[in-house]
Amino acid sequence: MEKRGELTSSQIGMIILAIAGFIVVLLFLFFILDLKEMSELEICKLSILTRGTAPEITKRLAPLKCTTQKICLTMENKDCPQFLGYENVKKVKLPSGTLADGKPKASQKIEEISANAMYDCWNIMGQGKIDIFGGEEGNHLSDLVIEKAKSISVVNNVEAKCVICSRVAIAPDLYEEKNKEILKQVDVNTYLKEKQVPGSSLTYLQTFTDRQVSSYPSQFSTNFSKQGEGKTTDEIAFVFSQILVDGREPLEQAFEKGAGTGIAIGSGLLLTPLGKVVGLVGAKITIPAAIVATLTSGGLAYVEAGNNQELAVEYCGPFESVEQARYGCSVVTPAAFSSKEDLDKIENLCKGGIEGNL
Amino acid sequence: MKKKAILMKNTLGIILAVGGIALLLFLGGEIAYGAFKTNQEDKAAQTVIDLVKTKIDAIGTDESTELEIKGIDTGGEGDWFLVGWNEEGLIKPDKCFFQTCVCVCKLTDIIPTLENLKEGCQNRGFCRETNTKQIQVSTTTPNILTFPYVGLQPALKKIDIKKHKTQDDEIVVSISPQS
């Protein structure tokens, strides 16, 4: 006889399964997903994915747990005064000696570190395909609801928002006369063009441009070399910035908005005034920072192929992770990070705010 | 007729219930979101004060360092300030009563005068002892009404931190924003 309210065996089974599932999830959270053991980069990536997959209205509630990576380049295991007092500074002792072509090994190491910093930044931030920042923020839940309603039709009031992925600083020993040649021979752009991303058959440049570009246009190279005598700095920051656009000619809109924010087109080519060329303080030498290839992520591909919208859309187009069609332009830019003026320029680029911990 | 009356009565009840639940959910959401925002601001403030303290501790006497901070976003509801309170000062927050300390404090829509900052630091401020006799904070644009502070509005800024000895062998920390 079955009593009223008695649980059937299938119901009991379901309850047991649910409880077991709950326990498994808890165990996973407490033991396997140990956030303390995760690297800062992994935590950052996880928080970006959480934001990217969160519904639009709750996007701002998911904190962006990204901490700027600090890399100190040194020849003699010295500390970088720029990072005095900071924890988790990655000190890189540059190798001595020269390569077969006479180039200092240390120069190539600097190129490698810069290229990887840029690649990591681009990769962790979702390669421009994730809407990381969402719409505007407010102090009340109602602000979010109103903003959500507004954002359906208007996105033009949104300013670029940024994350400073990493800061690469030069220790004082690299300024010394004997090491002058090391900085002189750093050529990040050539490295990006010629070297492959670790674990991939593609070069950095091909990866950034979705295989569309394997070398720089000659005009571009000429412009770049002209910038060799620029301002100097002892620290470079790799800044990821993202701006929302409404989908029509997204790259051009980004430029329009960027006119006052640091993104501009020079001589028909894409350049950023932020860091046309970044050099080094003290040694009075300039290192060609990877500005060019940075913006190639969307820009060079766009310029190179004329008005090929498809290419631009790859990096300056619809996000993949939102419920409604939204467009954005994302850029990773190396920028000098030494003087107050340098910071002002970054501030100007990131008018919508800078997220993450410096 | 009777059926219609029952239907009307139930419909009205359902509408009221749904409205009530929606209102409760919205108010609950507002409170939770407000707490979340407050928590985010407080975390950012603690990060700033911890960085300042770390830098102060990291430099020796007659040394200086720079610190980059990105300010604290309050969504337009007040501002955060970096201020210093000297051991010998008479007017200061209770939490800095015995020691020289540096604080990051919030003020809402009021001028950062000595009294206001004292209250602000006591009510919503994070302070760290500096283990020095004095601390001097410089304001970029000094005003006769205001107490010296470094504004922490959301923007990238660079501040200089120096440590030196006075003629009486007392250690003084100076904090000044780059302009």
Residue B67 scores a pLDDT above 70: yes
Grade residue A352 by pLDDT with cuts at 50, 70 and 90.
Answer: confident
* B156 with A354: Cβ contact below 8 A: yes
Residues of chain A found within 8 Å of residue B70, distances taken between Cβ atoms: 354, 358
Nearest CB among A63, A84, A347 relative to B156 is that of A347
CB A302 within 8 Å of CB A208? no
Which comes out higher in pLDDT, residue A31 or A45?
A45
Nearest-10 crossing angle of helices A105-124, A40-53: 30
Residue B81: its H or E element: strand B79-85
CB A356 within 8 Å of CB A163? yes
Grade residue A314 by pLDDT with cuts at 50, 70 and 90.
Answer: very low
CB B90 within 8 Å of CB B115? no
The residues with which A72 forms a beta bridge, in sequence order, are: A91, A169
Considering the domain boundaries, does residue A329 fall inside one? yes
Considering the domain boundaries, does residue A2 fall inside one? no
Residue A176 scores a pLDDT above 80: yes
Q: According to the model, what pLDDT value does residue A232 have?
A: 62
Residue A95 scores a pLDDT above 90: yes
Residue A210 gets the label, from left (phi > 0), alpha (psi -120 to 50) or beta, of left
* B65 with A357: Cβ contact below 8 A: no
Over the stretch A114-159, which tens digit does the pLDDT of each residue have? 889 888 888 898 887 888 887 655 555 566 555 555 554 444 446 7
Query: Can you tell me the distance from the alpha carbon of B148 to that of B146, in angstroms, rounded to the nearest whole number?
Result: 6
* A63 with B47: Cβ contact below 8 A: no
Q: According to the model, what pLDDT value does residue A263 have?
A: 34
Considering the domain boundaries, does residue A12 fall inside one? no
Please provide the DSSP assignment of A77-121 as one string: SPPPGGGTT-SSEEEEEPP-SB-TTS-BHHHHHHHHHHHHHHHHH
Nearest CB among A84, A139, A354 relative to B37 is that of A139
Interface of A with B in 125-184 (CB under 8 A): 137-142, 144
The residues with which A270 forms a beta bridge, in sequence order, are: A265
Q: According to the model, what pLDDT value does residue A90 have?
A: 92
- Highest-scoring range by mean pLDDT, A18-22, A211-215, B124-128: B124-128
Residue A308 scores a pLDDT above 50: no
Nearest CB among A82, A85, A343 relative to B156 is that of A343
Grade residue A285 by pLDDT with cuts at 50, 70 and 90.
Answer: very low
Residues 6+ apart with CB under 8 A from B3: none
Lowest mean pLDDT among A169-183, B10-24, B90-104, B125-139: A169-183
Which residue of chain A has the CA closest to B154? A353
**Start-to-end CA span in chain A (Å):** 69
* Listed residue (B107, B153, B22, B34) closest to A138, CA to CA: B34
* A343 with B36: Cβ contact below 8 A: no
Q: According to the model, what pLDDT value does residue A13 have?
A: 85
Grade residue A325 by pLDDT with cuts at 50, 70 and 90.
Answer: low
Residues 6+ apart with CB under 8 A from B128: B49, B50, B52, B53, B101, B102, B103
Q: Does B178 touch chain A (CB under 8 A)?
A: yes
Residue A311 scores a pLDDT above 50: no
Between β-strands B171-177 and B157-165, what pairing exists: parallel, antiparallel or unpaired? antiparallel
* ipTM given for this complex: 0.80
Over the stretch A185-197, which tens digit does the pLDDT of each residue have? 877 778 888 889 9
Q: According to the model, what pLDDT value does residue B174 have?
A: 93
CB A50 within 8 Å of CB A132? no
Q: According to the model, what pLDDT value does residue A276 have?
A: 28
Q: Closest approach of chain A CAs to the CA of B124, in angstroms?
A: 17
Tally A–B CB contacts below 8 A: 59
Burial tier of A138 (Cβ tally within 10 Å: 0-12, 13-18, 19+) = middle
Grade residue A318 by pLDDT with cuts at 50, 70 and 90.
Answer: low
Best to test chain B binding among A161, A355, A358 (most B CBs inside 10 Å): A358
Considering the domain boundaries, does residue A318 fall inside one? yes
Per-residue three-class SS string for B90-150: CCCCHHHCCCCEEEEEEECCCCCCHHHHHHHHHHHEEEEECCCCEEEECCCCCCCCCCCCE
**Residue type at A331 in one-letter notation:** V
* Listed residue (A264, A243, A247, A245) closest to A331, CA to CA: A243
Q: According to the model, what pLDDT value does residue A9 have?
A: 80
Best to test chain A binding among B156, B161, B173 (most A CBs inside 10 Å): B156
Instruction: Please give the biggest Cα pair distance in chain B.
Output: 98
Over the stretch A202-221, which tens digit does the pLDDT of each residue have? 888 777 766 555 555 444 44
Query: Of all residues in chain A, what percent carry a pLDDT higher than 70?
Result: 59
* B66 with A82: Cβ contact below 8 A: yes
Lowest mean pLDDT among A20-29, A47-56, A171-180, B132-141: A20-29
Alpha helices in A125-166 (DSSP H): 141-151
Considering the domain boundaries, does residue A217 fall inside one? yes
Q: Does B66 touch chain A (CB under 8 A)?
A: yes
Domain that holds residue A176: 56-355
Residue A301 scores a pLDDT above 90: no
What's the mean pLDDT in A94-110? 89
Considering the domain boundaries, does residue A171 fall inside one? yes
Q: Closest approach of chain B CAs to the CA of A353, in angstroms?
A: 7
Angle at A294 (CA atoms; ends A318, A94), nearest 5 degrees: 140
Considering the domain boundaries, does residue A8 fall inside one? no
Residues of chain B found within 8 Å of residue A85, distances taken between Cβ atoms: 51, 54-55, 57-58, 65
Q: Does A86 touch chain B (CB under 8 A)?
A: yes
- Structural domain count of chain A: 1
Q: According to the model, what pLDDT value does residue A41 have?
A: 83
SS3 A278: strand
* A353 with B179: Cβ contact below 8 A: no
Nearest CB among B34, B65, B154 relative to A353 is that of B154
Pull the structure tokens for residue B172. Answer: 């003084």
Q: Does A83 touch chain B (CB under 8 A)?
A: no
Residue B17 scores a pLDDT above 50: yes
Query: Can you tell me the distance from the alpha carbon of A332 to that of A300, in angstroms, rounded to the nearest whole number?
Result: 13
Nearest CB among A85, A140, A353 relative to B30 is that of A140
Considering the domain boundaries, does residue A197 fall inside one? yes
What's the mean pLDDT in A67-88? 91
Lowest mean pLDDT among A140-144, A230-234, A254-258, A321-325: A254-258
CB A271 within 8 Å of CB A255? no
Residues of chain A found within 8 Å of residue B37, distances taken between Cβ atoms: 139
SS3 A319: coil
Grade residue A5 by pLDDT with cuts at 50, 70 and 90.
Answer: low
* Listed residue (A26, A358, A20) closest to A165, CA to CA: A358
